[in-house]
Structure 1
């Protein structure tokens, strides 16, 4: 390996060879200064900054049928194939949703894999996930999947306390399974579980360097998935490892010499950081962010796939052909077919994400919806902005609700001083004056509005006579 090479990213000569021997310690390093179990975890800073290095190409991978099934009742085969169809449609012509990973353990899991493979989609590619055991590997071999994830837990919490191994024993164990994958023509994707509590330069980088040597010897690409299993990752500039997302991604790229297209981030939302950390991983050099639909996953969940669709669009300035109205169809499918109740304020998919209750906001929507709507949710999500009618909605809110609900646009739209709007407002006021505390339902408002319209039409007819 050359000591110095010219970088096409920075247009500078850069050192490319680094020596990071494995630190095969006798006692686990649990980073108690950052993770005192009896207290809230600490975020420390060393003020070391690493450069942003957005890859030329970025994409999304899906774990709805793997990690997403670890916190809810298993999907049926039909439900999996339906959701897989949605992912394919959402992915668009460029295949922004590149892969989807599956369990293989039950007969139902394997049946779903076969049915998804039969669809013949290029994107998402069907991949699997196994533990680092020869028994699990046999499942991948039998089905004939081209790539599989392999669990390679990397923190001393797992190596010493779960696997009951030393660091060297863990590496030897992992490498044996990864070599088996390559021997049988299967691309390995190494899941570095709990990387945000791992000794990055004492274990992670030395192990990854071994994997990069193996990749060079065999010519088979080996992916590195950095798994923030407990959601400890932070994107703050200057934060210390192992919590620093920029530090982890930069370290994999620069010190372990992993190409961006082989680096994937997998985050959890325990500290509300999954989306920000996913975007940070992209910014600092990971091509791929692993997500699940609606963020459903272990404990607080994974990075929501629909959120990263819009992060992608904001960072790239384009949706690259992705049909985001499919997101609304997915949300409706979870609600109506799967009985999954999405919290109503959830961005992009909750029933109230673009609904306003404040009268002053409703007045703004009535004049120009751009004032209080994040983007054209009608065209991008097939979700027009709406107003929920309460005692604070005001007459503007009622006018907006009527126009939206009855699709009254242009010269047919009712102004807030229209007699129909005024009559409905009077009814709403009476409801709350009599002690009502909950919002008015759409069904109630439809009935009252229809009655007001009939009354208005009758008056107009009388005046015409």
Structure 2
């Protein structure tokens, strides 16, 4: 039987869709064990809702959704459904809490995807919402391509949702065309006639998914779809780690998700998806707390708050100093001291010349062993100091 849930409204509720939209990334295919492991990690760190699959994909997918239900009996789980009675009945049989009934609402998709009249689609939607409610499911109406629909189109769907008992609307920027200012205006306008739960589903085609999610929250959204490391169709969705940290950093809103566990979760999902994490990926990339520039390193050595917006310790990380073309004397002195070498001023100039030569040709920062080699090559009798 479907599982009913009750809600206490916090500032924002994350509905993570790594296991649905995230897995729709081209080339991504999780095994059952990987799906369970990802779901368990998300649940254990406090992500309150998980969208876990698509029953219409067939018996194997349904088995995996059922395995997730068994592995996480107390979690709030959602599946994505077409306007098909079979999908909805399957969701209830699998013990889901929520069903997202997806409906294209823009003229573009209504005409060129469904090829049906708006009145016909709305009648079918009402029937399917009523079916889901009769089976004990909570209902989210997924407004596909909402960002290309008119406010009048949204109002018609909202009125139908209120009449039929749907608890949530999903505002989907399906093709990722919104900017934060437009997102704020549209969600705020939608809030004038939709009083219940409102979920933002942002795609990252313009690199604005996180910003649009935050704008939607400021305008009155109660829920946000995210994916770990921003997996998802095309350019992906709003990354979980970015939304969690941005809410805390920008709005002082703590979702009680332990941020120090996010890097390990991101690493696990990256490996399971066969994707690498970009070196400068916000928050979890290898180099995002790494400093080379002389002025920045000098300021950081004097007081880390000079060039620290996000505390790396909150993510279980720390600042790292590297040497390269843009390094200054204080950085060279500090890094070599950490290696156990005390440099005089004239030695620093010689080292800098070698480092800049290396960086231009190797197109990377020298490693510790390479720095030791430079020192040994330049200075035959190094004066060692205690580490």
Offset from partner CA, 1:306-325 (integer Å, 9 cap, x none): 11101221354242532101
Offset from partner CA, 1:260-288 (integer Å, 9 cap, x none): xx110101112222111111111111111
Cα 1:167–1:427 shift into 2, 3 Å? same
Offset from partner CA, 1:367-392 (integer Å, 9 cap, x none): 22221122320x20112112232122
- 1:22: which partner in 2? none
Choose the corresponding residue for 1:81, options 23, 26, 36: 36
- 1:181: which partner in 2? 132
Q: 1:51-62 counterparts in 2 under 5 A?
A: 57-62=11-16
- 1:131: which partner in 2? 82
Write the distance in 2 (CA, Å) between the matches of 1:183 and 1:83.
Answer: 31
Write the distance in 2 (CA, Å) between the matches of 1:359 and 1:79.
Answer: 43
- Asked if the contact 1:69–1:75 (Cα under 8 Å) also holds between the matched residues in 2, the reply is yes
Q: Let me know the Cα RMSD of the aligned residues.
A: 3.0
Choose the corresponding residue for 1:392, options 326, 332, 335: 326
Unaligned runs of 5+ in 2: 1-8
Q: 1:348-387 counterparts in 2 under 5 A?
A: 348-377=283-312, 379-387=313-321
- 2:192: which partner in 1? 254
- Asked if the contact 1:356–1:388 (Cα under 8 Å) also holds between the matched residues in 2, the reply is yes
Cα 1:436–1:315 shift into 2, 3 Å? closer
Cα 1:154–1:399 shift into 2, 3 Å? farther
Offset from partner CA, 1:412-446 (integer Å, 9 cap, x none): xx8xx933998687456335447734223435347
- 2:160: which partner in 1? 210
Write the distance in 2 (CA, Å) between the matches of 1:358 and 1:431.
Answer: 13
Write the distance in 1 (CA, Å) between the matches of 2:333 and 2:273.
Answer: 35
Q: Give the superposition deviation at 1:192.
A: 0.2
Q: How many residues align?
A: 373
- 1:119: which partner in 2? 71
Write the distance in 1 (CA, Å) between the matches of 2:288 and 2:17.
Answer: 24
SS in 2 for 1:366: helix
**What TM-score results when the alignment is normalised by the length of structure 1?**
0.72
SS in 2 for 1:353: coil
- 1:20: which partner in 2? none
Choose the corresponding residue for 1:444, options 363, 369, 373: 369
Cα 1:110–1:396 shift into 2, 3 Å? farther
Q: Give the superposition deviation at 1:82.
A: 1.9
- 2:18: which partner in 1? 64
Q: Does 1:285 align with 2:240?
A: no
Cα 1:363–1:108 shift into 2, 3 Å? farther
Write the distance in 1 (CA, Å) between the matches of 2:49 and 2:346.
Answer: 53
- 1:229: which partner in 2? 174
Q: Give the superposition deviation at 1:337.
A: 5.5
* Structure number having the greater helix percentage: 2
- 2:354: which partner in 1? 430
Q: Give the superposition deviation at 1:140.
A: 1.1
Write the distance in 2 (CA, Å) between the matches of 1:121 and 1:312.
Answer: 29
Q: Give the superposition deviation at 1:134.
A: 2.0
Write the distance in 2 (CA, Å) between the matches of 1:270 and 1:229.
Answer: 10
Q: Does 1:263 align with 2:188?
A: no
SS in 2 for 1:456: coil
- Asked if the contact 1:424–1:449 (Cα under 8 Å) also holds between the matched residues in 2, the reply is no
Unaligned runs of 5+ in 1: 1-54, 216-220, 237-243, 407-413, 461-465
- Larger displacement relative to structure 2 (314-323 or 191-200): 314-323
Q: 1:17-56 counterparts in 2 under 5 A?
A: none
- Larger displacement relative to structure 2 (222-231 or 421-430): 421-430
- Asked if the contact 1:103–1:129 (Cα under 8 Å) also holds between the matched residues in 2, the reply is yes
Write the distance in 1 (CA, Å) between the matches of 2:345 and 2:66.
Answer: 56
**What TM-score results when the alignment is normalised by the length of structure 2?**
0.86
SS in 1 for 2:77: strand
Q: Give the superposition deviation at 1:213.
A: 1.5
- Asked if the contact 2:333–2:348 (Cα under 8 Å) also holds between the matched residues in 1, the reply is no
